[in-house]
């Protein structure tokens, strides 16, 4: 098999398990059951709307478990990471260079989402290092539309 063929093979679609928007800097994350992605802008109600390549942030539920383990905790609440969408069942880094759909929306992988100093504040001592390599990805909205908890994440 060629490398390109291997990079296009996914065992199954992922699934959205959490949606959150950050209305203003330092304000609590607003947890939602659904949200509208706005083409070339981001998520309705999120402060990063219109922010170029970092329109929407994603993290894997599996990585939240890893971060919790590094911190000696049983779990990490998604809103503490300040990411918009938590997915499970798909490796987000495998979406590099690809578009993917969720509900009615289509996204384009735009980069890795590295932790910031806020992770130390939100997660406690060692939070920044616990998130390193587990911070998820950023994406641009290629086609807007409704996204709901439970929607599939499909590489296209």
Cβ-based neighbours of 5, under 8 Å, separated by 6 or more = none
- Answer whether CATH 2.40.33.20 is correct for domain 3-155: yes
Q: Which of 3-7, 11-15, 53-57 has the lowest mean pLDDT?
A: 3-7
- Residue 55 confidence (pLDDT) above 80: yes
Cβ-based neighbours of 13, under 8 Å, separated by 6 or more = 89, 90, 152, 153, 154
Cα atoms in the Cβ-side hemisphere of radius 13 Å centred on 20: 22
Cβ-based neighbours of 11, under 8 Å, separated by 6 or more = none
| CA nearest neighbour of 114 among 95, 127, 133 | 133
Whether the Cβ atoms of residue 39 and residue 142 lie closer than 8 Å to each other = yes
pLDDT band at 7, cuts 50/70/90? confident
Quickly list DSSP for 69-84: HHHT-S---HHHHT-S
Whether the Cβ atoms of residue 86 and residue 61 lie closer than 8 Å to each other = yes
Cβ-based neighbours of 9, under 8 Å, separated by 6 or more = none
- Domain range annotation of the chain: 3-155
List phi, psi (to 5°) of 102: -140, 120
> 90-127: per-residue pLDDT in tens?
999 999 999 999 999 999 999 999 999 999 999 999 99
* Token representation of residue 122: 């939100």
Give the model's pLDDT for residue 131: 97
């Amino acid at each position: 098999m060629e490398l390109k063929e291997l990079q296009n093979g996914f065992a199954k679609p992922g699934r959205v398990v959490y949606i959150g928007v950050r209305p203003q800097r330092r304000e609590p994350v607003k947890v939602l059951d659904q949200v509208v992605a706005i083409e070339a802008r981001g998520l309705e109600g999120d402060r990063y709307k219109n922010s170029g390549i970092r329109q929407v942030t994603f993290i894997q539920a599996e990585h939240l478990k890893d971060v919790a383990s590094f911190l000696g905790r049983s779990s990490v609440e998604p809103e503490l990471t300040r990411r918009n969408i938590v997915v499970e069942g798909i490796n987000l880094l495998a979406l590099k260079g690809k578009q993917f759909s969720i509900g009615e929306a289509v996204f384009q992988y735009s980069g890795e989402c590295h932790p910031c100093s806020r992770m130390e504040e939100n997660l406690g001592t060692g939070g920044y290092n616990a998130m390193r390599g587990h911070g998820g990805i950023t994406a641009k909205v290629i086609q807007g539309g409704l996204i709901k908890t439970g929607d599939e994440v499909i590489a296209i």
